[in-house]
Structure 1
Amino acid sequence: MAKRYSLEETLDFILDQSDSEEGPENTEPDSPEDFTTDTEDEISIPISANFPESVVDNLPADISTGIYYGWARVDNGDIHKMVMSIGWNPYYKNTKKSMETHVIHTFKEDFYGRILSVAMVGYIRPERGFKSLDELIAAIHSDIEEVKIKLDLPEHLKLKEQHFLKTPVSTTANQILNGHRL
């Protein structure tokens, strides 16, 4: 069985990845296409954010592929529910592992080039292949509905108030968060 990471362990890992003398690696996508799913129009799921390969490559080796859920915030905006896929997207036969987050909120515009903060608080299911696009779409919508219910539970609502998601985000490399240079 894969190890489950506490919120503090997850946040420490993320912060450790950005702890360098030169500030963080530039994690902004090179183009809007890098920030949204290639299949957005095909599967009718609103905009999602793909984390850069450098983030995915530095995930703990024993983190399971599959569907996670938690909280997300774009820049210094409101905190919203999110669902995240970590894995190979077998329906599309991806050759690289990806980490894709769908913020469950209707934004007036895309959030390309903005800072996305996420806190993973739970795991829904392992990654799996689908025989058809319709089966994949149904699973995505089912995952979103399950997440909406789970994140309304008191034990998950309290995690929405964690310091990590409440700390103002700066786009300067000199900001310090919990003792780590961002």
Structure 2
Amino acid sequence: MARPSDVPIPQEPMSPYPINTEFCDIVCGFGRGSSELGIPTANVPIDQLPSIVEKLPLGVYFGFCRVAKVDSECTRVVKRKDGRSVDYNFGATLNNKDLETWPVVLSIGLNPFYHNKAKTVELHIMHKFSDDFYGAKVKFNILGFIRPELDYTTKEALIKDINTDIEIAKKTLNTPPYSEYSHL
């Protein structure tokens, strides 16, 4: 499973980890995770995260997260840059299972395959949610680093690496030194 770009993962979280966030907003991104890659992501504003996140190397990380509904009596529709609409339901339709703690693999970077100009933080939560949850909140921790951000020549190579990242994260988070951090 090891790739040349993989960073050795210690047996337990080492400084600067764990990095813990407060609940932050889930916002719409570019819409590529689900539609193009088949790997949905929850995007969060980097300015709502601890300042240390801004200083981390661009790349792929892992940890645990928990989604929370936001009390809202309204919905909101936001237009993406590509013109598609996104319905913000603030997590109103999520079930109790969706609100449990789940493993997460996350990207902090510029996504060079897509030529992004601004740094993004995108979480792939390892759970099949009952519905979309734009506008809800997510709290997460970062427990370690898997690999630096890479550029890809094909979408298939990107998808393959993301799936390998997911497997590495699952395996690591199932070990006792890491699973102890699942209580958010």
When normalised by structure 1's length, the TM-score is 0.69
Residue 42 in structure 1 maps to residue 67 in structure 2: no
Q: In angstroms, what is the RMSD of aligned CA positions?
A: 2.5
Q: Distance in 2 between matches of 1:70 and 1:118?
A: 7
Alignment coverage as a number of residue pairs:
142
Instruction: Summarize the alignment of residues 84-103 of structure 1 with structure 2, pairs less than 5 Å apart.
Output: 84-103=106-125
Judging changes above 3 Å, is the alpha-carbon distance between structure 1 residues 37 and 57 closer, same or farther for their aligned structure 2 residues? farther
Aligned counterpart in structure 1 of residue 148 of structure 2, from 126, 135, 143: 126
Provide the secondary structure at the position in 2 that maps to 1:125.
strand
Judging changes above 3 Å, is the alpha-carbon distance between structure 1 residues 53 and 154 closer, same or farther for their aligned structure 2 residues? closer
Q: Distance in 1 between matches of 2:128 and 2:36?
A: 18
The one-character-per-residue Cα deviations of 1:136-170 (angstroms, maximum 9, x if unpaired) are 01001111111111110110111113xxx1xxxxx
- Greater fraction strand: 2
- Greater fraction helix: 1
Ranked by relative contact order (alpha carbons within 8 Å, sequence separation 6 or more), the top structure is 2
Q: Distance in 1 between matches of 2:103 and 2:15?
A: 20
Residue 52 in structure 1 maps to residue 45 in structure 2: yes
Ranges of 4+ aligned residues in structure 1 off by more than 6 Å: none
Q: Distance in 2 between matches of 1:136 and 1:44?
A: 11
Cα offset for 1:113? 1.4
Query: Does the 8 Å CA contact 2:103/2:126 hold for their aligned counterparts?
Result: yes
Q: Which runs of 5+ in 1 are unaligned?
A: 19-25, 166-182
Cα offset for 1:62? 2.9
Judging changes above 3 Å, is the alpha-carbon distance between structure 1 residues 51 and 59 closer, same or farther for their aligned structure 2 residues? farther
The one-letter code of the counterpart of 2:61 is: Y
Instruction: Summarize the alignment of residues 1-182 of structure 1 with structure 2, pairs less than 5 Å apart.
Output: 4-7=15-18, 10-11=19-20, 14=21, 27=25, 29=27, 34=28, 37-45=31-39, 47-55=40-48, 58-75=51-68, 77-161=99-183, 165=184
Provide the secondary structure at the position in 2 that maps to 1:43.
coil
Cα offset for 1:86? 0.2
Cα offset for 1:54? 2.4
When normalised by structure 2's length, the TM-score is 0.69
The one-letter code of the counterpart of 2:37 is: I
Q: Distance in 1 between matches of 2:177 and 2:134?
A: 31
Query: Does the 8 Å CA contact 1:36/1:49 hold for their aligned counterparts?
Result: no
- 1:174 aligns with none
Provide the secondary structure at the position in 1 that maps to 2:55.
coil
